[in-house]
Amino acid sequence: MIAGVDEAGRGPLAGPVVAAAVVLDSAVTLEGLADSKRLSAAQRERLFDDIVQRAVCHAVGIASVEEIDRLNILKATMLAMERAVAELRLAPRAIVVDGKHTPRVACPAEAIVKGDSKVPAIMAASIIAKVTRDRLMDQLALEFPRYGFERHRGYPTPDHLAALSEHGPSDVHRRSFRPVRVLLEAANVR
């Protein structure tokens, strides 16, 4: 009953940060499991379905754009992780988290640098978080079609920065992130 925890979406200029917590059965092998960043979108989708079907339990936590701007991205990430762990159907005995920081949870927590390439439960959490966030960004792309979220998921690509410059920030852009903040300051908008 050890949950792996990871997040997706710390670096983008738009959209929420999404965390996932996953408890795997040590007797179950998930073929192709790896850090979500090393997998294609099709591989992540296939593994997402496998994880959802075969994990002991899993859950997702989200921190909104408003929470990111109010708290900062690290604190919002920890909040999303806390929410994911709290939503698990079964309380974990401990959690292992990718990175250097651990959220405040009711059980022991250990941070593992590059845990998403070392610990299967963290790998699974990275996939659940990434696919969930990508799907959320696809929905936001329908609401805000001028920004191309379906292509870059809110990351600061040249296309995204050009759309931001042309159209200004949307309601789902992180106003505390420098490129967005600079645009708002130039337009004298708060």
Same domain for 154 and 106? no
CATH number, domain at 92?
A: 3.30.420.10
Nearest to 120 by CA among 34, 40, 48: 34
Same domain for 168 and 87? no
Same domain for 75 and 23? yes
Same domain for 34 and 67? yes
Split into its structural domains, the chain has a count of 2
Phi, psi of 58 (to 5 degrees): -155, 160
Q: Is 129 exposed, middle or buried (0-12, 13-18, 19+ CB in 10 A)?
A: buried
Cα-based distances in Å from 101 to 57, 66, 128, 162, 164: 23, 22, 20, 34, 32
Residue 70, domain extent:
2-142
What pLDDT is recorded for position 188? 75
Same domain for 174 and 114? no
Same domain for 155 and 121? no
Same domain for 106 and 63? yes
Same domain for 121 and 87? yes
Contact 134, 41 (CB under 8 A): yes
For the whole prediction, is pTM greater than 0.75? yes
Nearest to 60 by CA among 99, 3, 112: 3
Same domain for 77 and 32? yes
Same domain for 150 and 133? no
Same domain for 138 and 47? yes
What pLDDT is recorded for position 87? 98
What pLDDT is recorded for position 189? 55
Place of tokens 């936001």: 140
**Average pLDDT per run of 10 along the chain, which is 190 residues long?**
97 98 93 94 97 97 98 98 98 97 97 96 98 98 98 97 95 97 80
